[in-house]
Each structure stands twice: as C-alpha cells, then as structure tokens.
Amino acid sequence: MKITDLKCTILGSNPVIRITTDEGICGWGEAESSKHYLKSHVLFYRDLILGEDPTNVERVMLRIRRMGSFKPWGSAVSAIEMALWDIAGKAAGVPVYKLLGGKVRDKVRVYNGAVRFPMNGQAPEDYAESMARMKACEEGFSIIKQGVGFHGPMIKEDPSRFFGEVQGGRGLTRGLLTERGFHHVIDCVRAMKEVLGDEVGLALDCGPGFMVPDAIRLARALEPLNVMWLEDMITGDYTPYVLADLYRDVTMSSSTPIHTGEQIYLRQNFVDLIEKQAVNIVGPDPADVGGIAELKWVAEYADLHGILMAPHGVFDGLIGLAALVQVCATLPQNFIAFEYPTGNPAWWYDIVEGLPDRIVEESMIEVWDRPGLGVEIIAEEAKQYLPEGDEDFFD
C-alpha cells in the first residue's frame, strides 16, 4: 500500500486532513478548531510522505516528526499521525486500540471541558450557577473543568486584581495577584465546590501566567477543597517551553495536584517534567503532542514515575474524539480521564458516522470496535460545508 495524496480543508473551524492510498483506503485526522490557519502547514509535509506505506506508521513519522514544534506547530504532524493509524487499522480490519497493544478498559472516562453555558459575569455566584448547569448535563460528568485566574475572562474583567498588563489575543497575561484578586479566585472556587460537593470533581484551568509565589499560595489555600488539579499555572497554551524546575517548586510545596502539558510537543519534552517529579499529572493533547502513539509513550513513562495522566482535547472535534477514545482505552492505570471534545458547529454530528447515539453516559464512553478510528466523514453530507477552493477534497 502506498500514500497517493495528502489533503487538508477546514470544516467549520477544524482543520481536517485526508490521506488517500492506492488501495482505496483513506485515513482521517483533525486539528483543534482554534487553528483554522493550519492548511498550508499540513501541506508542507505532503511531498515527504507520498509513496510511503501508511501502515508503517513509525517509519512515516520519522520523516516528518522532527519538523514540528510546540503548539500550534505540532498540530499538522499530529493530525497526519492520526490518519496513518486510521489507515493501518482499516487495512488490518481492526480498531486502532488493537494496534496500540489492546484494551486495558472497555469504557473510558471523560471530563467536561467543552460543554459550556454563558456566564453573566465573573462573580462567585456566576461560577456557581454555571457549575450547577454543567453538573445537571445529561452526560453525567464526574469531573468538570473551569477556568479561573489567568485562564478566561476573570482577570480581563477586572485588571485591578493583579499587578501587570492585560494582554489581548495570544498575548500572555502574566503577573502577581493582588490580595483582592487572590481572595476572589478562592471565593469563586469555594462557590463551585459548594455546588459540586463530593459528588463531582472540580478541576481548575489556571493560566498560564501565575508567578511561583502565587501559585504556591493558591495551591496551599485550596488544599481543604480537594480540587482535582490546578492546570497550567506557570506555562500552558501556546507557551513553547516547559520550566519543569518552577513547576517542581509548586508541586513540592502543596498536596493539591498540579497538572500541565497540553502545549508540549513530543515525548522528549516531557522528560524533565516526569523525571524531576515536577507535576502530579500530565495532560498532552493528541492533536499537539505528535499523535496518539506519542501520547501513549508519554503515559507509559509517566506511569513508571507515579505520575497521572489526564489528556487535553477540548477543541479536537469528533475525529479527535475518536482518536482519544482509541488511545485512552490502551493507557496504563495512571489514566484519570480525557477532556471531552464536541462537534462545533452542530452540523458536525450530521456529517460523521460511527459515533453512538449517546456518546457519553455517566461520564463514560464505551470503546467501539470498528476498524481504524471507527468514524467516517460522510462526503455527500459534508460537501456543502467545504470552503471555496476545496471542492475536490473528497475526490
């Protein structure tokens, strides 16, 4: 079998790739919806993989892996890797999890990062109201993640809560919290915990942007509330470095679990975090880390060091969801849950076949057994959403 073409289009906001072969089998991959600019970067790799056998996944990846980077520039490589596994599974007539070593679990746990409701403001009561609505969702989420501090609009709504300059767009807002800002974060977390009680776990997405003294103080102050984790306090989204020593200072100062990793590309860049016990939980995203096998390698190495795994994935779309289900079924017992992505716009559910009618029940997804990733894009339904110039995407 040989690769005959690599194509990329934007469906809704998600970059979607299609790898075709001379045996009529095609593979699907997807990148985050926040990366609608990625098409040309995906196509950069086209000539490097044409003519290769897609079922030799690692051999193909060795040709392109070193030419990616931290989020967002590892996304193209990651999406290609997903599609290669999809082809390999279809060619063998087995689900991808079989090729990754087989299932450890029949159902995989998810946590809520994508099912959101509008908030009227950033006061504690607004967070409590939003949390109540998410707790009542039909998916029955056992863990809900919420942005506080530097993640989301909390700081932007009232810049007087910290000593620094509020950045816009992809700019990194970073600084020291005022006493008022520090107490506000704690009050909001306390309000959410009062809603969730000990029935549903609360995970907090915190940044990046915290200074180490504030990160330590916050982690210590939240110890009585038993939150699931504090995510990306020092580095995180679109930060092309790790700073493991700083994370270790925070982690060793508190019993509150510390989490990071969504922006990190390749297993090599997790070595310091893991070997230095710099965090309690790592959270690579299969659409950024280099693909699903790369994520598994990170999980296995983390498990050897007693570090937990909670993969990121909020914007990965429905193909990304399928990839997460397949790989998380194979992860060791350090796996907690992965961040549940949804189809957006809603018509995504009309153009993908293979998903169960109710995807999540009681916070769990049953692992399906269809070949490859187990989902297909319905060309006739999807053609109407192709952008101008990509009319031949399904040809």
What is the signed CA dihedral for 178, 125, 187, 198, rounded to 10 degrees?
-150
Whether omega before 208 lies within 30 degrees of 0, making that bond cis, reads yes
- Exposed/middle/buried for 191, CB within 10 Å: 0-12, 13-18, 19+? middle
CATH for 98-372, options being 3.20.20.120, 3.90.960.10, 3.40.1480.10, 3.30.200.20 = 3.20.20.120
CA distance 249 to 217: 12
Count of helices and strands (H, E) across the chain:
15, 16
Count of positions (residues) in the chain: 395
CA angle at 348 for the pair 344 and 353, rounded to the nearest 5° = 145
Give pLDDT tens digits for 255-306: 999 999 999 999 999 999 999 999 999 999 999 999 999 999 999 999 999 9
φ/ψ of 222, rounded to 5, equals -90, 0
Q: What is the pTM of this model?
A: 0.97
Cα–Cα nearest to 259, from 273, 279, 243 = 279
Give pLDDT tens digits for 3-36: 999 999 999 999 999 999 999 999 999 999 999 9
Domain parsing of the chain, residue ranges: 3-94+378-385, 98-372
Helix, strand, coil distribution of the chain in percent, nearest 5: 35, 15, 45
φ/ψ of 78, rounded to 5, equals -65, -45
CATH for 3-94+378-385, options being 1.10.10.10, 3.90.1170.50, 3.40.1390.20, 3.30.390.10 = 3.30.390.10
Q: What is the band of 168 on the pLDDT scale with cuts at 50, 70, 90?
A: low
**Token duo for residue 141:** 């989420």
